[in-house]
């Protein structure tokens, strides 16, 4: 598998380099040079296959020339240690529940797969350090993802006082190789410190540094697997004539899920159309409607993981369609929702269908309801567990979710090293922790 940069100013690379550097040197995002097409016969048998079996077929097609099949099998088995049920919500509408992983959000899938690929490439070297800045949820997913991957040191920088109790507890995975670091500053300060580390030649001569952030191609690839899986489960339930009738709705922020869906479609997934749900940060929906992509400052909403004003994966999507708005806007439609709309969708779905949703899933369902036509079947991505935002669920539906979720961590309330916004302080930690 060769990968090129969407900016096309730096050379194509192999998977190892794309994974271990994240961003291309020219600032572009890596994309696979060749997207293999899955034989149509695969879709005739898909309804009997497990998510692991489907993931293996797709991953082996993409990565089989770089990683041997037995290892790919192991990596996908270790990634999917939880179910991804497809739940019927209404006639012709299904919820793909992606929130049964260790941190109760779909980001577990990408983080677990990426951790294992990095583990594969670093095995035995003892020199690989992964740095990531988090403003909330991705820190927990990365910590849980790397927990069982030996030999990789992971540093998670988070802004002091900005994480919820649960988000903080999710960092305490009690594994020697995951190091949360509390920074007395903002998320931007955390990101600046990470950038400084990447720019430190001395550090880089001693260790191989990489990032587990969301633009890494190996967080994206595994997200394709569950689009195939959803189609397979549906094909098993709705015996005939599924082909060409399925619409998939995606609650979108940085557009990772949409990009993965489009890659799956390129590989042959018979989806008729995708629907993007935005909150009021609707630069993507604006682009789909007008053909103009105009980034802007994000504002805070109830669906906060979608509060993105300049979605990074737009460059991958534009690249896939050679920048041509026509075909993109025929395949992908968009709808945007205010906080009130999102809460109304949560409330309606509970009263009409007795089904609880978090705000992200609720926006995707709203978009599906607004887009779907007679004769079509819709699947929306439920990206986070409703109990993660029990207060909001209670406000919208009156339901008090009793059982609080358990954090993946086992050592609650662990003390993390606390540093000021000083690269010297970070460097000290980076150079004084060894493989454990």
Ligand X SMILES: *Cc1c(COP(=O)(O)O)cnc(C)c1O
Q: Which residues bind ligand X (CB under 6 A)?
A: 105, 107, 137, 251-257, 305-306, 360, 383-384
Nearer to ligand X, 137 or 182 (CB): 137
Shortest Cβ distance from residue 284 to ligand X (Å)? 9
Distance CA 113, CA 8 (A): 27
Distance CA 266, CA 247 (A): 15
Shortest Cβ distance from residue 389 to ligand X (Å)? 10
Nearer to ligand X, 119 or 139 (CB): 139
Single out the residue of 97, 361, 52 nearest to residue 222, CA to CA.
Answer: 52
Distance CA 246, CA 50 (A): 20
Distance CA 37, CA 78 (A): 25
Nearer to ligand X, 122 or 279 (CB): 279
Shortest Cβ distance from residue 238 to ligand X (Å)? 26
* Distant-in-sequence, close-in-space partners of 34: CB < 8 Å, separation ≥ 6: 1, 2
In 191-234 the beta strands, taken as DSSP E runs, fall at 208-211
Shortest Cβ distance from residue 313 to ligand X (Å)? 7
Distance CA 38, CA 270 (A): 11
* Distant-in-sequence, close-in-space partners of 336: CB < 8 Å, separation ≥ 6: 277, 278, 279, 280, 282, 285
Nearer to ligand X, 248 or 255 (CB): 255
Residue 234 token pair = 């549906």
Shortest Cβ distance from residue 177 to ligand X (Å)? 24
Nearer to ligand X, 273 or 360 (CB): 360
Q: How many CB atoms lie within 10 A of CB 208?
A: 16
Nearer to ligand X, 136 or 409 (CB): 136
Shortest Cβ distance from residue 68 to ligand X (Å)? 30
Nearer to ligand X, 134 or 383 (CB): 383
Distance CA 36, CA 56 (A): 14
Reduced to 3 states, what is the DSSP secondary structure of residue 5?
A: strand
Shortest Cβ distance from residue 427 to ligand X (Å)? 30
Shortest Cβ distance from residue 306 to ligand X (Å)? 5
Shortest Cβ distance from residue 304 to ligand X (Å)? 9
Greatest alpha-carbon span in the chain: 63
Nearer to ligand X, 257 or 345 (CB): 257
Reduced to 3 states, what is the DSSP secondary structure of residue 325?
A: helix
**Cβ atoms of residues 116 and 75 within 8 Å:** yes
Shortest Cβ distance from residue 388 to ligand X (Å)? 8
Q: At what angle do helices 187-198 and 423-432 cross, to 10 degrees?
A: 60
**Cβ atoms of residues 183 and 206 within 8 Å:** no
Nearer to ligand X, 377 or 383 (CB): 383
Q: What's the Cα-to-Cα distance from 248 to each of 234, 337, 353, 387, rounded to whole Å?
A: 12, 17, 19, 24
Distance CA 381, CA 361 (A): 6
Nearer to ligand X, 247 or 382 (CB): 382
Distance CA 59, CA 39 (A): 14
Shortest Cβ distance from residue 307 to ligand X (Å)? 10
Q: DSSP alpha helices (H): ranges in 148-216?
A: 165-169, 187-198, 201-206
Nearer to ligand X, 13 or 328 (CB): 328
């Amino acid at each position: 598998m060769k990968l090129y940069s969407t900016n096309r100013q730096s050379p194509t690379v192999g998977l190892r380099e794309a994974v271990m550097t994240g961003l291309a040197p020219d600032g572009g995002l890596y994309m696979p040079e060749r997207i293999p097409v899955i034989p149509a016969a695969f879709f005739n048998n898909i309804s009997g296959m497990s998510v692991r079996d489907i993931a293996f077929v797709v991953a082996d097609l993409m990565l089989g020339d770089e990683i041997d099949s037995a290892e790919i099998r192991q990596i996908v088995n270790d990634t999917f240690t939880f179910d991804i049920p497809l739940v019927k919500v209404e006639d012709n509408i299904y919820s793909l529940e992606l929130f049964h992983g260790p941190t109760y959000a779909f980001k577990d899938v990408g983080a677990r797969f990426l951790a294992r690929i990095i583990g594969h490439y670093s095995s035995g070297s003892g020199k690989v350090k992964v740095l990531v800045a988090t403003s909330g949820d991705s820190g927990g997913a990365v910590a849980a993802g790397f927990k069982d991957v030996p030999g990789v040191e992971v540093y998670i920088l988070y802004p002091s006082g900005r994480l919820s109790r649960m988000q903080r507890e999710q960092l305490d995975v009690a594994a020697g190789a995951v190091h949360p670091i509390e920074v007395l500053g903002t998320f931007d300060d955390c990101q600046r410190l990470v950038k400084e580390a990447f720019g430190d030649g001395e550090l880089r001569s001693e260790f191989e540094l990489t990032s587990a952030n969301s633009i890494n191609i190996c967080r994206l690839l595994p997200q394709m697997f569950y689009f195939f899986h959803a189609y397979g489960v549906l094909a098993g339930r709705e015996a005939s004539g599924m082909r060409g009738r399925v619409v998939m709705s995606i609650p979108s922020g940085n557009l990772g899920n949409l990009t993965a869906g489009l890659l799956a479609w390129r590989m042959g997934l018979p989806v008729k159309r995708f629907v993007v749900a935005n909150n009021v940060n609707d630069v993507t929906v604006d682009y789909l409607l007008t053909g103009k992509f105009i980034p802007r400052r994000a504002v805070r909403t109830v669906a906060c993981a979608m509060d993105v004003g300049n979605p990074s994966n737009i460059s991958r999507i534009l690249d896939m369609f050679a920048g041509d708005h026509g075909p993109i806007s025929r395949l992908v439609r968009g709808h945007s929702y205010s906080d009130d709309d999102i809460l109304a969708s949560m409330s309606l779905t509970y009263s009409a269908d007795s089904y609880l949703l978090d705000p992200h899933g609720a926006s995707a369902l709203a978009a599906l309801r607004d887009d779907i036509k007679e004769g079509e079947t819709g699947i929306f991505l439920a990206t986070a567990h409703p109990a993660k935002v029990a207060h909001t669920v209670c406000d919208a539906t009156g339901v008090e979710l009793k059982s609080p979720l358990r954090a993946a961590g086992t050592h609650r309330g662990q003390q993390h090293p606390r540093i000021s916004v000083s690269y010297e302080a970070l460097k000290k930690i980076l150079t004084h922790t060894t493989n454990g």
